[in-house]
Amino acid sequence: MKSLYVKFVVITIGIMIISSILAFLVSNAYYQQKIKPLNDQKNTEIALSIAAFAKEHPSIMLKDYLENTAAMGYQIYSIDQSGNEAFYGAPFRDSNLSAYTKEKVLNGTVHHGILQFPKRTFVTGFFANELQNTIGVPLKHNGKTYALFIRPDIKLLFNEMHFLFGWILILSITLSIVMVLFSTKYLVKPITHLTNATQSLANGNYHVKLNIPRQDELGNLARSFSKMAQKLGQTEEMRKEFISNISHDIQSPLSNIKGYTNLLENESIGPEERAQYISIINSEIRRLSTLTKQLLLLASLDRNEDMLKKRPFNIGQQLKELIRNYQWVISEKGLMLSYTLPDTEIMGDPSLLNTVWDNLLSNAIKYNKPNGSIEISIQERKESVLITFEDTGIGLKHTEIERIFDRFYRADPARTRTIEGTGLGLSIAATIIRLHGGQITVTSEEGEGSAFIVEMKKNHGDGFC
């Protein structure tokens, strides 16, 4: 029974059976406590009225009277003091009745056989065609005393209803099973599609499509699965891109170092050429060192090994110091830089946050247009601080904005891969801001520039809401 479809069908039918049994038991308890006494009382009143009518009309033929009464839907048994018995109406299945009970009724006591019928009998005891399951009353007619036992003729009264209820029960069970089979198939079918999609995903096919337009939990699960598959596909592409980029970023400087090292072995080169080659080798070594440091930093941030050393510090002063360090680069590229940096205190790790500002400013310089501008500002809110880096650079495409913070992603592979061009800088920046409980967003227009906005808590609490 490994199939979910079979399990669901079996469980549902099992629930139906158990529910029916429980319903039967509850119904029996209700019958024993409520319906059975009422039924006994009602039939006792009928039996007493029959006996009273016979007593009040001594001229009638008792036999004819009882036969007519039985014809209206009753089973009747009578016995006189001499032991003469008579049955009227349909025969009893079991006509045994104790002599004590007969004698007791002849002596004037009412026999409540319906009420006293054994309680071990279920609600079907109502249909038990037995003489002891009757109401016994004394009857006097023409000076003679009789014991009259009476019960409704269930077969006569409910014969057609027996067939009706039987067909209703059979059809209900049959239709329920058929509906369970079809409804289960309807419920399980999307799970089957999901299982096939999962197997396809496990085999490396991330382009799975699930056509499940349902709006219930299974529909939500299918849509979430599709998003997960898409994200895994993107992650796989990023992994491949990372391997390609890192291989290039490591192999390229190594090849240059090896090539220029071989040139240095040539004793015929002049001092100027030698110095130039050494400078190139040192530049490539710095490039490798930066890449290695970024990879180690990113790995440490991922492990979140309590790296943050938070303390209150003045973010305005930190940004001004960073600008002073880049002043010569800004002047060399002919850029105009303006800033609004009031003294503002926040709680954070100054060293890691400086890495964020350094990355954002270096990108604003690197990807700016000739004679472009950069604007850096701090804006205080009630609970947070906004730090904005805005430039007039080449901007980003809409598809690039969606992935700009992904690891190893380069918005434009054709861009010059300088020391910082590893595709890790913005990912590191976003991770650091997230660890501080903040968030970083970007707005950009291709060819017009970009604005990176960081929102941080001021100087209390560890989380950002």
Model confidence at 379: pLDDT above 80: yes
Residue 358 has pLDDT above 80, yes or no: yes
What residues does 134 pair with on adjacent strands?
none
More confident residue, 7 or 74: 74
Place of tokens 């001499």: 82
b/e map 125-157, b = 16+ CB within 10 Å: bbebbbbbbbbbbbbebeeeebbbbbbbbbeee
| Residue 124, pLDDT above cutoff 90 | no
Note the pLDDT of residue 46: 93
Query: What predicted TM-score, i.e. pTM, was given to this entire model?
Result: 0.48
pLDDT in tens, 67-118: 999 988 899 999 999 899 999 998 998 899 999 999 999 999 999 988 888 7
Given pLDDT bands bounded at 50, 70 and 90, which one contains residue 390? very high
d(CA 137, CA 133): 13
Looking at residue 462, its pLDDT comes to: 44
Pick the closest to residue 264 from 283, 281, 251, 284 (CA basis). Answer: 281
How many C-alpha atoms does 17 have within 13 Å on its Cβ side?
A: 7
Q: Which domains does the chain have, with CATH numbers?
A: 4-159 (3.30.450), 217-301 (1.10.287.130), 308-457 (3.30.565.10)
pLDDT at 463: 42
